[in-house]
Structure 1
């Protein structure tokens, strides 16, 4: 005789009543097909956090398997896009309609992109950490695209101090001497001629962009290009000697405190007309044991903040 299996989440009483903001699962591993502008659909290995709220105060719990199975359908039958995320959240709420009326999903993955070198035009792979957060609250769908872009930053103060040392060395070397253009040119090509170099460090910009509620596609490549073109010194993949020299030139011509980088991106995002944005600049200092950090936001009431 077949017996009905118990459903404790549906039938048992809560040990203590009360509403909960989010209940669900974290770090769900799943492969996805990503749909994004200017790229063919491609597979990414993702981890997802899936949630619904629990507005029924005496409900024991949610049906977590229903969230998992909806994600599995996205993984096996669809491509990740704004539209399929909206369908996913609708499914979360529909399958919990008696106890929940809001849903959220966070999907994290690394997107490998082919990136050209600066001059030789050799290409190599660079991976960009991406996070997509979508929510359905009060029947309003919202979506956020977060991205990390790594670049090099050279300290303006250190550059000025290095230039002063080179000037002093030049003055000491050629004091009271009549020198030719050729002698100066030759001296500048020696170790003595480059007596000091400014310090630079690997730096990361953490970006969050609130997408338009009616957005039909992601544009991850466009956002990467926008940020890297503004900062000028993104870390490189394939590098020949001419590329390394050009990278050194770009660092020398784009000296940046963390404040400079934050202001450059803030002005860029204002001009781009993003609905809201979050910028965190991290300069992982080579001089100090601590980091230099700057934040910038659009400043909307209830919008992004530190």
Structure 2
């Protein structure tokens, strides 16, 4: 008859007594099915963190394998949603009922969307970094969603300086000549006519939101759509020349500093009823400077996110 294997974590006493906020695992790699707002769930490769509190100051440790197995069960038998994450947190605590009263889990992955070009109708894939995190504090659940959206930002100051140079070039070219509309049109189509262009740069908006309790399917696509619609200049996937031209027009009509981008998103998220709180960070990866331009804002509620 086989002898029972020792369980040191369950039997031994802590070398030094003390309760711990979180104990668990990080960088768990698993495929997870994410519930979709419209259509079939999407499979993603997720990196997962799973934690419980260690409330018993004398306990040696927690049962790591129980956390892993609970996450594995969700990955194999369920889809990622607010309700399934709450059940997972309950499972963490249930399997540590003598040790823990709180639980935390997070999923980080790239969410792929098929996006249509601006004019031509061509389609291509775009990936968005997404993280879903949830905490049970012993009484209540907090479900949070964080999304990154890449876009283009054209500097208003640079645009004004470029316009000034174009005006000066126009004055030099036509100063002593009778101005003819066709001549001006032809001149504007030359490199001499557009003697300067404003600088733009790839930029990143990171939006973190705390969801209302009655939200179940995670609003990943809806949030991405809101962010891109607000900023107007999301980077493109498949493009033809007409798409590139339209992208240039959108950049010219949506000049923005990082402050402008953050305020646009702030205004948009304040209208979303399913969002209890938000934090926004926009990063403009400068093409002029060696440093980045950054703006951060929150909803500003009492006890909410801090900048």
Match of 2:100 in 1: 100
CA distance in 1 between partners of 2:179 and 2:216 (Å): 66
CA distance in 1 between partners of 2:120 and 2:91 (Å): 49
Match of 1:229 in 2: 229
CA distance in 2 between partners of 1:149 and 1:305 (Å): 21
Pairing 1:30–2:30 present: yes
Pairing 1:203–2:203 present: yes
- Over residues 126-170 of structure 1, what are the superposed CA-to-partner deviations in whole Å (9 max), with x where a residue is unaligned? 000000001111220110010000000000000000000000000
Name the SS for the 1:228 alignment partner: helix
Shift, 1:40, TM fit: 1.3
- Structure 1 length as normaliser, TM-score? 0.99
Match of 2:292 in 1: 291
Shift, 1:176, TM fit: 1.9
Structure 1: which 5+ residue stretches go unaligned? none
Shift, 1:275, TM fit: 0.7
- Over residues 69-119 of structure 1, what are the superposed CA-to-partner deviations in whole Å (9 max), with x where a residue is unaligned? 001101111111111111100000000011100000010010110000000
CA distance in 1 between partners of 2:285 and 2:204 (Å): 8
Match of 1:249 in 2: 249
Structure 1 residue runs of 4+, over 3 Å off? none
Pairing 1:192–2:177 present: no
> Alignment RMSD, CA only?
0.8
- Over residues 30-83 of structure 1, what are the superposed CA-to-partner deviations in whole Å (9 max), with x where a residue is unaligned? 001110202311211101000000111111000000000001101111111111
Match of 1:139 in 2: 139
The count of aligned residue pairs is 306
Match of 1:260 in 2: 260
User: Superposed, which structure 2 residues align to 1:1-306 within 5 Å?
Assistant: 1-273=1-273, 274-306=275-307
Shift, 1:224, TM fit: 0.6
CA distance in 2 between partners of 1:21 and 1:54 (Å): 6
Shift, 1:233, TM fit: 0.2
Name the SS for the 1:230 alignment partner: helix
Shift, 1:2, TM fit: 1.8
Shift, 1:218, TM fit: 1.1
- Structure 2 length as normaliser, TM-score? 0.98
Name the SS for the 1:100 alignment partner: coil
CA distance in 2 between partners of 1:141 and 1:217 (Å): 15
Name the SS for the 2:270 alignment partner: helix
